[in-house]
Structure 1
Amino acid sequence: MAAKKEKQEIFEESNAGDGTRREDQYIGGYKLIIVVTSLLISMLLSVMDATIVVTILPQISNKFDGFEKINWLTSGFLLAIASLTATWGKLSIVIGRKLGIVLSIIIFMIGSLVCALANSMDMLIGGRVVAGVGGGGLQSLVLVVLTEILPIEYRTFGIMLLSITTALGSVIGPLIGGAFSRFDWRWCFYINLPVGGLSLLLLVAVFNPPAPKGKIKDKIKMIDYFGTFLLSSGSVLVLLALSFGSSYQYTWNSAAFISCIVIGVISSVLFCVWNYNYSKYPLIPPEITEVLSLDATVITATAMFGFFFANQIYLSVYFQSIKGMDGWHSGLHLLPIIVSSVVSTLIGGMISQITGYLKPISILAGIIGVVGNALLYLLKVDSSLGKIIGLLILPGISSGLQIQSTAMLSQVSAPKTPGGTILATTLYTFGRTMGGAIGSELATLTYSESLKHIFKRALKHETNSTVLQDIQEIGFGSLLENTSLLAKLHPVTQEFFKAQMMKSIVNVFHMGTGLAALALIASVFQSNLKVPKQSKGVDEDNDQEENTD
């Protein structure tokens, strides 16, 4: 009886699905330290690159005279990451995780080099898209590899380090971008080459996992190319529609917006039909999405990353456009949200490791997220530094706790079928990246539409002749597209326009609160499983014998 009880306490985890055993992937000693360091560097580069361009956009716009395309420097990168994350996970089972992550780093570095050498806006955007393709692989496979090299009972420590790296990368980007913008913006991309090269060198030299079994020629046929096309095109077109809707070049009834949203939704629906009914090798196997607790974890992470990125972007807008800071100081003022996120990640990770609890931490993070986002409504044009710091702490705590707990919940909730853990991790990462991309686009959409309506309504009731004259001379559209023109206006006009901007930013926080509420609701339906104390790989040979009998 005691032996039976002991056996039940051992957590079973799926093997890789490529013919190798779970235990074959583990490494230790100095090799573990070097590989984890390489993985963290790779993730830092990928996350940092999403925000490093924020502070150099004006310089690039002036250099290439392409303000109307400037949004694509961020959108192109995020679109490529979000649309291919799921594909990289499936591809890694076929070609192996080492080759997959090596290819990701190389593609990312090629894209960075193209950006650094760009002599036109189109070339720069193209480089960003290529870098995003590699970045999608990094964001997907770094977590997959970290999952494989550490037993699940010790994986909390690895995910804790990865979560801290993700939080740091999001704020280091603007800081480094602001520093490089003072002498040469191209170094924002050149920097990826030596750092990425170091990561690649460490990985190639030390990381030698067992090769997937079978012939590569036969396994390439196991990739669902049609499903990949449908999922990628659907994701890209829906995000494009949101991007078009938030720009001042397209209206809601424009052909560009309508065609993207309609074709994008149709492609997404077709992917679901194909993937779950007809595909021989589905990109997202049904046994993955049939685990409802895993679906709840993915939704929680998607919503959390949505408000996390939305807050990052429009708190930066608040500091730069309303408070008049440069990119460097704007990044410094985001430190309260990052520091609180890092500290809460450490505390949450230690609590999970000691007690095993995951779901209660995620629910607590959801509650703090709703309260923290709602408190951001209190930000004003003239808010003091102390008040700002206080208001940024709770959203940071929520993000830190949620990143840590949901990453582990996706692991313990994964099905036991071959490749289950890898594909569950990939689905989780896909949700995170899509959440960040959608949250960013929805935030921009909310802000731009709010500003247009709020500004026009306020202008109708404005009686100050100085304000009316300034607005008439510079033009409403010019101010909406380039807030740096504010410096040329009379102080009274600046105060008027900043007040309308502040109301629009608060509307973004309203949207963030809605996403935080969604994360809270979804967190309730997550798995009750704890971090296991002991684990082993599923004995597939015995399972097959039992099925045969």
Structure 2
Amino acid sequence: MEEDLENQKIVVHGAGEGDLLDSSTSQSSKETVVKQPAEENDQKSLGSGQTTGMALYVCVFSLALSLFLAALDIMIVSSIVETVANQFGDYSKTGWIFAGYSLPNAVLSLIWGRIAAVVGFKTSVLTAIVIFEVGSLVAGLANSMDMLIGGRVVAGIGGSGIQGLAFIIGSTLVDESKRGLIIACMSSAFGVASVAGPFLGGAFTTHVTWRWCFYINLPIGGLAFASLVLFYHPNGKLQSTRSTVLQFFSNTWNFVKRLRELFKLSTWKTFVHELIFRFDIIESLLMSAGLVLILLAFSFGGSKYAWNSAPTIVMFVLGILLTIFALVYDFVIFPRWKVVRTSPRYQPLIPWKIFSKFPIFVANVSVFFICMAFMCQIIYVIQFFQLVYNETAWKASIHSIAAVVPTVITVITSGIVNNKLGVVKPIALVGIFSGVIGAGLLTLLDNTSTTSQHIGFLILPGIAFGATMQSSLIGNQIQVDKKSKTYRMDFIAVTTLNNFLKNLGQAIGGVVCNTVFTTSITNKMRQHHIDIGQNISADAIVIYRSHHFDGSRSLLGDLISESIKNVFYMSLGFSAVAFIFGIFTSNKKLDLNKAPANTKESAGSVSSSSDKVESQ
């Protein structure tokens, strides 16, 4: 059976090794694929050279712009909750406005890298942008809470692809010596979006309409899409607009003609075979289900269900078991399949040889906890000014600028240091030291703090976020063995794993901080016999305080301030864990020697031959 499936590469392999819109395999895809050894084809380099000149600048700008939009959507909805709940009259589902985007955004990061490895990076990132745009349009046009949540889920699927693929593509545009600057540009976009979301969301909600939080994605995303179509050519060859358009329609027609293969049983056998071994779909489904259950348990625990209730316990236990089994499957079971042992084209989404490398492991754990801590801090700094001082979402979000500026300065400075000196560990150490000290200072924030403290307490967390994002990704990529037969797949694996853990850290941080605050304020209000007439949550208190504000130093103001401080204590714990792992960051440096034109492996060999076809 396995030998038959290996030889019956009709649609999946014919499309996968080229592009789904690849004219080069349209005449005899069966012969074309069989004649090319899978191992050799799967490890081909991206092309003969890197992108340069105006094309490089436009590509980086487009990728950064796409990344900005995808990251922006994580937090931009935090300031529209009250308005949307009042308009649709459905407050009970407001938590899903955030979770509907963050859950698929986090859990699908790994599979997008594998899709790109098979289909091609250009096709994959353009598809992700289209999905993101469709989701944004649905959310903007929503006439009910369910429609809004549905649009957020679709946008989250596309946003996951954008965030994962943007860093991979950006890393392949130049050789290793210049990679730090490219990643710095994209990390800047990611960092700014993470804290600017509430500010922009509040501005749109206050001065225009909440729907513009989603409409804004359409023209900007369209610009990024068009720029990548015209200027991103994976093999370094430039194309005219006319040839690009003609190629698209030609490839589309060839793909349509190949659809007749879908009526053959052998095609579906091959399709299932590829899903299991090429896309590692079993691990993906197990991991996704496990993480969703864990996040749902945190979301519902203490609010919809009691912490000791059967639904909460079952979600936690089943979620943890599924997540563990997903890792066991990738580390132990998947490599034992005969077809996997005999073909390097089949690799798990999370390879043990990558995950078990100590430098990669510690860097990823460190960035995971830093992202958790930073998300808790940013969300509840904004909530602090809304809940304690009764500021509008827009005005409260202005305070996050104190974290934006140091984040941007840090990632740009880190990129320059990477480019000039090649060092990574000093940047990582700056990040983890700033994280612990900044998180400790933030626990001093309360309703008696001065304006200078409001600003000063956010500087170090911003530096920590920027430095750790930059150093962890670069630190992962330089650990990959360039001489390995699976270098391309390994490079994709470490980049998507890093992005997966960043997204997951933000998703978990956004959920657990609400859990800690809600549990804390609920207990304190019960102790003081305070009743606000509805289920207690951060958003419910915002609504109550807007109508019954009794001052920042009232009893309720004190209780809110103390509860938010508990969130900051938790973020201090996360930062401490990041520090413990971060101090073991590898001393390995970037290779600052430019690779010869014909051997630019450091970026070129990362992409598949499918990307070659895309730009021919």
The aligned length equals: 511
Alignment match of 1:45 (pick from 66, 69, 79)? 69
Output aligned runs, 1:261-272, within 5 Å.
261-272=316-327
Instruction: Show the counterpart of 2:219.
Output: 194
The answer to whether structure 1 residue 166 and structure 2 residue 221 are counterparts is no
Which one-letter code corresponds to 1:531 in the other structure?
L
**1:366 matches 2:432:** yes
Contact 2:390 2:545 in 1 (8 A): no
Matching residue within 438, 443, 448 for 2:508:
438
Q: 2:70, 2:602 → 1: CA distance?
A: 33
Q: Tell me, yes or no, if structure 1 residue 255 matches structure 2 residue 255.
A: no
Match of 2:586 among 506, 512, 527: 527
1:303 aligns with 2:369: yes
Equivalent in the alignment of 2:423: 357
> For the residues of structure 2 that align with 1:441 and 1:17, how far apart are their CA atoms?
43
With over 3 angstroms needed to count, the CA separation of the structure-2 counterparts of 1:144 and 1:490, relative to structure 1, is closer
Deviation at 1:99, TM superposition (A): 1.1
Shift of 1:89: 0.9
User: C-alpha displacement at 1:364, in angstroms?
Assistant: 2.4
CA distance in 2, matches of 1:190, 1:492: 36
SS at match of 2:234: coil
Matched, 1:233 2:289: yes
Residue 537 (str. 1) matches residue 601 (str. 2): yes
1:48-67 mapped onto 2 (5 Å cutoff)? 48-67=72-91
The answer to whether 1:505 aligns with 2:505 is no
* Percent identity for Structure 1 against Structure 2: 33
The code of the aligned residue for 2:590 comes to V
- Mapped to 2, the partners of 1:277 and 1:403 lie a distance apart of 30
Mapped pair 1:388 → 2:443: no
User: Which residues of 2 match residues 417-456 of structure 1 at below 5 A?
Assistant: 417=484, 418=486, 419-456=489-526
Distance 1:51 1:203, change over 3 A: same
1:25, 1:148 within 8 Å by CA — same for their partners in 2? no
Taking the aligned partners of 2:225 and 2:42, their CA distance within structure 1 comes to: 23
CA contact (8 A) 1:112 1:192 kept: yes
SS at structure 2 position matched to 1:52: helix
Q: Deviation of residue 23 (structure 1)?
A: 5.5
Corresponding residue to 1:485 among 518, 523, 544:
544
CA distance in 2, matches of 1:42, 1:310: 24
Determine if contact 2:287/2:323 at 8 Å carries over to the other structure. yes
Residue deviations 1:482-505 (CA, integer Å, cap 9, x gap): 332124447379711111111111
The reply to whether residue 118 of structure 1 matches residue 142 of structure 2 is: yes
Distance across 2 between alignment mates of 1:65 and 1:16: 58
Cα drift, residue 17 of structure 1 = 8.0
Q: 2:228 aligns with which of 196, 200, 203?
A: 203
CA drift of 1:510 comes to: 0.8
Pairs within 5 Å for 1:25-104: 26-104=50-128
1:244–1:256 CA contact under 8 A, matched in 2: no
User: Is this contact kept in 2: 1:83–1:235, CA < 8 A?
Assistant: yes
Alignment counterpart, residue 315 of structure 1, candidates 381, 392, 396: 381
Distance 2:109 2:187 in 1: 18
Q: AA paired with 2:225?
A: L
Q: Cα deviation per residue 1:123-153 (whole Å; 9 max; x = unaligned)?
A: 1111101100111101100001011111111
Residue among 390, 397, 401 paired with 1:324: 390
Q: Is the 8 A contact 2:376 2:567 kept in 1?
A: yes
1:148 pairs with 2:172: yes
Query: 2:490, 2:285 → 1: CA distance?
Result: 22
* Contact 1:306/1:512 (8 A) holds in 2: yes
> What's the CA shift string for 1:460-481, capped at 9, x where partnerless?
xxxxxxxx6xx35x44745763
Normalised by the size of structure 2, how large is the TM-score?
A: 0.79
Report if aligned partners of 1:233, 1:264 keep a CA contact under 8 Å in 2.
Answer: yes
Residues 288-338 of structure 1 show CA distances to partners (whole Å, capped at 9, x for unaligned) of 112111011111110111111111100010011112211221221111111
Distance in structure 2 (CA, Å) of the matches to 1:526 and 1:22: 30
State the 1:171 CA deviation: 2.7
C-alpha contact 2:46 2:235 (8 A) present in aligned 1: no
Candidates 287, 299, 302, aligned match of 2:353? 287
| Partner amino acid, structure 2, of 1:38 | S
Does the Cα contact within 8 Å between 1:361 and 1:402 map onto a contact in 2?
yes
Point out the more displaced range, 46-55 or 529-538.
529-538
Match of 1:544 in 2: none
Distance change (3 Å), C-alpha of 1:151 and 1:16: farther
Q: Within 2, Cα distance between the matches of 1:415 and 1:363?
A: 24
Shift of residue 25, structure 1, vs aligned partner: 6.0
TM-score under structure 1 normalisation?
A: 0.88
Going from structure 1 to structure 2, the CA distance change for 1:74 and 1:415 (only over 3 Å counts) comes to farther
Q: Tell whether the 8 Å contact from 1:479 to 1:486 is kept in structure 2 after alignment.
A: no
Amino acid paired to 1:401: A
- Please say which of residues 411-420 and 395-404 is displaced more in the overlay: 411-420
Q: Is the 8 A contact 1:17 1:93 kept in 2?
A: no
Secondary structure of 2:122's partner? helix
1:277 deviates by: 2.2
Paired with 2:358 and 2:537, the residues of 1 have a C-alpha distance of 47
Unaligned runs of 5+ in 1: 1-14, 460-467, 542-549
Alpha-carbon distance change, 371 to 202 in structure 1, aligned in 2, over 3 angstroms: same
Aligned equivalent of 1:223: 279
Q: 1:268 to 1:504 in 2, by over 3 A?
A: same
Post-superposition offset of 1:93? 0.6
CA deviations on 1:194-250 (whole Å, 9 max, x unpaired) are 111111111111212259xxx99868452122121111111111111111125x222
SS at structure 1 position matched to 2:443: helix
Contact map agreement 2:196 2:400 (CA 8 A) in 1: no
1:464 equivalent in structure 2: none
